[in-house]
């Protein structure tokens, strides 16, 4: 009987955004299967905490500071990883996020919005191009650039795989976050494109589209100071048949399936929803 993850021991994985809530979960799951994990992020202190946790659990990991939007830093990181662990087999593009300046204050534009003189609200017409550009760059270029750098090790390297992190926003855009929804749509499209482009050199490319998980980035949007859910969180849960937010460990089964060549060798160019039924529910 096939045991997911059993063929991963000794392989080398790079996880961008590896110090985040979801990314750190990916790192820990891979390490538990015997993968040598390079945890990438911008803050060394956060990286050190994840690495220490992995090592204390018997795993192997290093923390490498690098910005996914700076190709020269990624190239330097690759050199460190190659010198420490050898050739790279697995890339998890988990870096991403939103920005307040790419977000509207309200779900719908109303005529009354034009009559207000307050600067506290942001309509579609007030969106800051700097904020929108930040979100597009972080999510799309932050996936493309690491793929360019780290996938060079994977060419003709049997069992190599890239897993991108998309979002349910890529299937159906959520209100208020046009930049993030557009950026994640780009990630899904790029996943399909790259899967075709690399198919002749033995690299599979797939993506996971998480539904709603509480992370450091969205916690203020979804929970009040007393821990209760905000109106937006309640609305999200009303559209999620399982009526709860996901736990980060509920993504790891899908991740390990996608990176395990014995389990998913013919799976290529797909975006897998892990969303508690959100994408299946019409609202009625």
Domain regions of the chain by residue span: 12-217+249-280
- What's the average model confidence in pLDDT over 63-82? 98
Q: What pLDDT score was predicted for residue 170? A: 93
pTM check: above 0.85: yes
- What's the average model confidence in pLDDT over 59-73? 98
Residue 217 has pLDDT above 80, yes or no: no
Q: Report, as residue numbers or ranges, the catalytic residues.
A: 180
Lowest mean pLDDT among 51-60, 61-70, 109-118, 208-217: 109-118
Tokens 């700097």: give the residue.
130
pLDDT tens digits along 82-133: 999 999 999 999 999 989 899 999 999 998 888 765 567 899 999 999 999 9
Q: What pLDDT score was predicted for residue 261? A: 94
Q: What pLDDT score was predicted for residue 67? A: 98
Q: From 3.40.50.720, 3.30.70.980, 3.30.2310.20, 2.60.120.620, which CATH number describes the 12-217+249-280 domain?
A: 3.40.50.720
Rounded Cα distance, 261 and 40, in Å? 23
Mean pLDDT of all residues belonging to the chain:
93
Report the side by side order of strands in the sheet with 60-65.
60-65, 36-41, 12-16, 90-93, 160-165, 203-210, 271-274
């Amino acid at each position: 009987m096939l045991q997911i993850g059993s063929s991963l021991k000794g392989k080398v994985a790079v996880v961008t955004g590896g110090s985040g809530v979801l990314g750190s979960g990916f790192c820990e799951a891979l390490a538990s299967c015997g993968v040598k994990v390079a945890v990438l992020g911008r803050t060394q202190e956060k990286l050190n905490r994840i690495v220490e946790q992995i090592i204390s659990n018997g795993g192997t990991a290093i923390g490498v500071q690098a910005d996914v939007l700076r190709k020269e830093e990624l190239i330097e990181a690759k050199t460190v990883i190659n010198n420490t662990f050898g050739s790279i087999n697995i890339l998890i593009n988990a870096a991403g996020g939103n920005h307040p300046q790419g977000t509207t204050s309200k779900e719908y534009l109303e005529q009354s919005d034009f009559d207000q003189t307050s600067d506290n609200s942001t309509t579609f017409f007030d969106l800051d191009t700097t904020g929108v550009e930040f979100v597009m760059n972080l999510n799309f270029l932050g996936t493309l650039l690491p793929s360019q750098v780290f996938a060079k090790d994977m060419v003709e390297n049997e069992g190599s795989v890239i897993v991108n992190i998309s979002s349910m926003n890529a299937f159906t855009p959520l209100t208020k976050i046009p930049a993030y929804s557009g950026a994640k749509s780009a990630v899904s499209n790029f996943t399909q494109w790259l899967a075709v482009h690399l198919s002749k050199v033995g690299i599979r490319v797939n993506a996971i589209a998480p539904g709603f998980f509480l992370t450091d980035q969205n916690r203020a949007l979804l929970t009040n100071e007393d821990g209760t859910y905000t109106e937006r969180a309640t609305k999200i849960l009303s559209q999620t048949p399982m009526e709860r937010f996901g736990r980060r460990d509920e993504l790891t089964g899908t991740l390990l399936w996608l990176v395990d060549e014995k389990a998913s060798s013919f799976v290529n160019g797909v975006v897998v929803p892990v969303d508690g039924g959100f994408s299946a529910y019409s609202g009625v």
